[in-house]
Chain A
Amino acid sequence: MQIKLWINNKEFNDDIAPDMLLLDLIRSKGFLSVKRGCETSNCGLCTVMLDNKTVLSCSTLAVRANEKHVTTIEGLEKEALEFGGFLADEGAEQCGFCSPGFIMNVLAMKNELKNPSEEEIKKYLEGNLCRCTGYMGQLRAIKKYLSRVKEGSYENS
């Protein structure tokens, strides 16, 4: 079936199988940051934004994105670097395979929650698994990043 969508503001018109998953469509267009870590919607690696709301692209049909805007980390390089710098300073991007999905959700959280507590941060990001880091370094990076956001160091995205 025919669909039209934008990935990182680039328009794509495509004829796709009705059962195609958004994850596979995005990767087939060369946005390779988006990863698959499971088949059961449990890991969060495939997180992207669909019209400014995060979704798991592994369990979203591509047709759902018809007439919509998809954003991956390739489209948010500046923000990814802003937060990613804190992650790097903790050494908390180990293998990095979970990073794109995790960072998408961190950026969404930044826009959604004002002054989240540690518990709220953990709850918000619970669906993003990471097997390497034990999560502590990620939490340190998030806290440092959010306090910089609060100081108004970055323009709003």
Chain B
Amino acid sequence: MKIVNKGVRKKDALALVTGKPVYTDDIAPNCLTVKLLRSPHAHAIIEEINTDKAKKVPGIECVLTYEDVPKTRFTTAGQTYPEFSPYDRAILDKHIRCVGDPVAIVAGWDEKSVDKAIGLLKVKYNVLEPILDFRKAKDNKIIVHPEEDFKALVDVGTDKDRNICASEVFEFGNVEEELKKCSQIIDETYHTKANHQTAMETFRTYTYMDTYGRLNILSSTQVPFHVRRILANALDIPKSKLRVIKPRIGGGFGSKQSSVSEMFPAVVTWITGKPAKIVFSRKESLTNGSPRHESEIRIRLGADDEGIIKAIHMDTLWNAGAYGDHGPTTVGLAGHKAMTIYNSAAAYKFNYDVLYTNTMGGGAYRGYGATQGFFALESAINELAARLNMDPTELRMKNMLTQSQVGNKLPTYYNEELKSCTLDKCLLRAKEMIGWDEKYPCRDMGNDKVRSVGVAVCMQGSGISNVDVGAVEIRLNDDGFYTLMIGATDMGTGCDTILSQIAAECLECELDNIAVNGVDTDTSPYDTGSYASSTTYITGMAVVKACETLKNKILDEGARLLGLNSDDVEFNGKEVFSLKENKSISLKDIGNNSLVGFNNYLTASASNYSPTSPPPFMAGIVEVELDKLTGKVDIIDYAAVVDCGTPINPNLARVQTEGGIVQGIGMTLFEDILYDENGRMMNDSFMQYKIPSRIDAGNIRVEFESSYEPTGPFGAKSIGEVVINTPAPAIANAIYNATELNFRELPITAEKIALKMLERNNI
């Protein structure tokens, strides 16, 4: 392979490092500034809004309330239609369901007037008691979604009158029977909190009407085609009236798999005909973004005295928050991804309730529910190892998926067949890298400092099987360069480059010979979008297919121009030639000819889906230093070994891994969305909601133990999400190995550690 599996530079790299104006807010010209008046109450009914004074402020173009906007319900979750997330939202609603819910949309020609107008709005609320604790939400007398026009498109067990957004029971074998036979049972409950993706570029959208009377949306989104549907639903207009464009975007991590900001300027432009823009403040992005769902998972894990796992039960509660975006789907991964790693048990049960409350609605965050599931299950596995007095890496080697299980069916993973796996090699290598055998469980460093190690393994998927679609088109142009048209959304992940690498490999050309662009729903082929770790695997395979077709067309056209049979010629990326006849024609000439007269213009398109979602795997081992007096945990070293099949671009795969681990470290040690008793987020700035700085990140070392996935392009599986799943259970394990205390709630702050150690020492 010449270009695949090479760490080439991203095609947009030099524009980004020189600060070129390529993001939404850099492209938007002078236009209306759109801002929102947001509710201070978590639960209320708007009785009256007086907009008279606000409308009189000079420069104000419009003030919209629930009476002025379409009333249709929709979901802002970017998912394939029919969406699993219920249609439970309106652009503006009389019924306020969480603090920060939009009350009015104000648009004006300068920011100051808009701020002034917002200050002049008078709202009368009937304030209602909120339900903030998801453990109490089911069958509560407070109902978050009493509205009649609420709609669930797919049966996911929704019962809105009981605050149930989704509910399901999955069972394989008989868990109760198996547990009875087990001599060792771990029965513990794990609690993870909501946390934010905090892409550095906050949510933002620019909208305008074009020459043809269509509404154009330029937005920082991961899902342009879904945004088209979401806005058609929200505005109650035909999809043909909409065009969505994705420029460079400043990070997503799932947050922009929901349509968070688009509807506000869109409705302003649709009503006024004028261009409009919204840029969420950091505070708004924190108080009303699309964070990871809070979860509470009770694990019952049964094993024999040798540590052979017999049964796993995951009893799961999920906090949807005020709206059901991604609630019914994220939860599924908690069980189906986590349990699958331990594939040899006799019985599994996974039941869940996803519940509506009056906290911020959740969304998609890298890992998409699997992260919560792995924290719970991997922690329980570590607790089992401790109970058995067994090295937790040994316990895993006895139970987890390994190379030798390739070919096996995975009963908890939709009965898919495992086609590639090197998880055992990943774990062994990670142990070597960290020096596990010398360092496990801990070493006293003096000065009240302990150094300890902790371990976890995990997997994810590669796209959503039988659902995700990636289509591409590739064209041969004059002089023989290619245009690769994709609908997959590069959000910094580098997919524009990765897909171009795949094309260049197939067409045996230089990377520079492939031109690629952002997404425009008018001109790009359909793609579900960049989420669910799908792009490299799903769209990458579409590129392979399209290039095959184009190559054949080039052969045919070259042969025709040479007056030969297609069977008698070959193509080497530069020319079509026949050794026998000693004739050749260059790609450049074929390209130039293709634009003239009766010759053929050469293009090829392909669309791809996958009946399977092959899991990438990872082993993560962390070394921490824990201060026994203060409880402070420093990350010393993180050894990460990943099986993502063939890494198409090892540099980008490495940085994905490092980035995911650091996000996981933040989630484990300090990131936490905190509410006061009225449901207001208390830590709503970067001053208080801390994400890891480069001091917090520690040293991270990444290696690959590549398997070869037969269904993926050049053997590739996904990388984007699997990388966030090990830090929480591995760090919790390291903390246990330093303190012999189990922390089953995230984040594990220094304060919690110090208090628990004090408590123990006092007994």
Contacts and interface: CB of A to CB of B under 8 A. Distances in A.
Interface residues of B, number: 55
B723 to A, nearest CB: 9
Interface string A75-117: 0010011011101111111111111100100000000000000
A38 B9 CA distance: 29
Contact of B697 (A73, A99, A136): A136
Interface residues of A, number: 52
Interface stretch (B449-457, B469-477, B486-494, B608-616): B486-494
B415 interface: no
B198 interface: yes
A134 B660 contact: yes
Contacts of B201: 35, 37, 95, 97
B20 interface: yes
B536 to A, nearest CB: 14
A129 B251 CA distance: 13
Interface string B241-255: 000000011110100
The majority secondary structure among interface residues of chain B is: loop
A42 B10 contact: no
B251 A84 contact: no
B659 A88 contact: no
Given A88-B13, A95-B250, A126 B694 contact: yes
15 contacts: A33-B20, A35-B250, A38-B686, A39-B282, A40-B686, A42-B686, A74-B18, A80-B17, A84-B17, A89-B7, A94-B655, A96-B12, A96-B248, A132-B200, A138-B694
B280 to A, nearest CB: 11
A94 B18 contact: no
Nearest to B492: A95
A47 B269 CA distance: 33
A125 B655 contact: no
A42 B685 contact: yes
Residue with the highest number of chain B CB atoms closer than 10 Å, among A35, A37, A131, A138: A131
B491 A95 contact: yes
The majority secondary structure among interface residues of chain A is: loop
Contact of B251 (A42, A77, A95, A127): A95
Nearest to B657: A134
B19 interface: yes
A81 B658 contact: no
Contacts of A126: 693-695
Contact of B200 (A32, A40, A98): A98
A40 B286 CA distance: 13
A129 B655 contact: no
Given A38-B685, A131-B663, A137 B18 contact: no
Interface of A: 32-35, 37-40, 42-43, 45, 72-74, 77, 80-81, 83-85, 87-100, 103, 122-123, 125-139
A133 to B, nearest CB: 5
Given A33-B21, A38-B685, A95-B199, A84 B694 contact: no
A45 B199 CA distance: 12
B292 to A, nearest CB: 14
Interface in B68-103: none
B662 interface: yes
Contact of A133 (B658, B685, B693): B658
Contact of B18 (A40, A80, A89): A80
Contacts of B23: 35, 97
Residue with the highest number of chain A CB atoms closer than 10 Å, among B14, B16, B283: B16
A25 to B, nearest CB: 14
Given A39-B282, A131-B663, A134-B660, A93 B19 contact: no
Contacts of B492: 94-97, 132
Interface string B667-708: 000000000000000000111000101110101100000000
B661 interface: yes
Nearest to B687: A40
Given A95-B201, A95-B250, A96-B248, A134 B685 contact: no
Given A43-B200, A88-B10, A132-B200, 18 more contacts: A32-B19, A38-B282, A38-B685, A42-B685, A43-B686, A73-B18, A74-B18, A88-B14, A91-B654, A91-B655, A94-B492, A127-B693, A131-B198, A131-B659, A131-B691, A134-B658, A134-B659, A136-B697
